[in-house]
Amino acid sequence: MGMRKLHILKFGGTSVGNLERINKVADIVAIYKRRKQLEVVVVVSAMGDTTDNLIELAKKVNPSPPERELDMLISTGEQVSGALLAMALHKKGIEAISFTGPQVGIITDVYHTKAKVLKIERERIEKELEKGKVVIVAGFQGVTPEREITTLGRGGSDLSAVALGVSLGAEICEIYTDVEGIFTADPRIVPEAVKIECITFDEMLELAAKGAQVLQTRAVELAKKFNLSLHVRSSFTKKEGTIIMEKKSILEEPVVRGIALATDEVKITVCNVPDRPGVAAHLFEPIAEEGINVDMIVQNVSHRKVTDISFTVNKNDAHRACAITKKVAKGLGAGRVVADEDIAKVSIVGVGMRSHSGVAAAVFKALAKNKINIEMISTSEINISCVVRKEEGEVAVNILHKAFGLGSGKKQTKNKRKK
User: Which residues of the shown chain bind ligand ADP in the complex (CB under 6 A)?
Assistant: 12-15, 45, 155, 177-179, 182-183, 185-188, 212-214, 258
Distance separating alpha carbons of residues 228 and 173, to the nearest angstrom: 7
In the bound complex, what is the minimum distance in angstroms from residue 240's beta carbon to ligand ADP?
15
Q: Which amino acid is at 11?
A: F
Is the Cβ of residue 12 or residue 17 nearer to ligand ASP in the bound state?
12
Distance separating alpha carbons of residues 35 and 380, to the nearest angstrom: 46
310: left (phi over 0), alpha (psi -120 to 50) or beta: beta
In the bound complex, what is the minimum distance in angstroms from residue 140's beta carbon to ligand ASP?
4
HSE-up (13 A, CA, CB side) for residue 139: 31
Is the Cβ of residue 163 or residue 212 nearer to ligand ADP in the bound state?
212
In the bound complex, what is the minimum distance in angstroms from residue 358's beta carbon to ligand ASP?
38
Q: Give the binding-site size for Mg ion (rule: CB under 5 A).
A: 2
Q: Which of 212, 95, 101 is nearest to 151 (CA)?
A: 101
In the bound complex, what is the minimum distance in angstroms from residue 233's beta carbon to Mg ion?
13
Q: Helix or strand or coil: residue 111?
A: coil
Is the Cβ of residue 143 or residue 309 nearer to ligand ASP in the bound state?
143
> Footprint of Mg ion on residues 2-31 (CB under 5 A)?
12
DSSP 249-317: -SSPPPS--EEEEE--EEEEEEEEEE--TTHHHHHHHHHHHTTPPEEEEEEPPPBTTEEEEEEEEEHHH
Is the Cβ of residue 157 or residue 383 nearer to ligand ASP in the bound state?
157
Is the Cβ of residue 16 or residue 129 nearer to ligand ASP in the bound state?
16
In the bound complex, what is the minimum distance in angstroms from residue 210's beta carbon to ligand ASP?
18
CB-closest chain residue to ligand ADP: 12
In the bound complex, what is the minimum distance in angstroms from residue 57's beta carbon to ligand ASP?
14
Q: Which residues pair with 242 in a beta bridge?
A: 232
Interior CA angle at 266 toward 52 and 116, to 5°? Answer: 55
Q: Give contact residues for ligand ASP (rule: CB under 6 A).
A: 12-13, 45-46, 51, 77, 139-140, 154-158
Residue from 82, 153, 155, 241 binding Mg ion (CB under 5 A): 155
CB-closest chain residue to ligand ASP: 157
Q: Which of 202, 247, 239, 241 is nearest to 220 (CA)?
A: 202
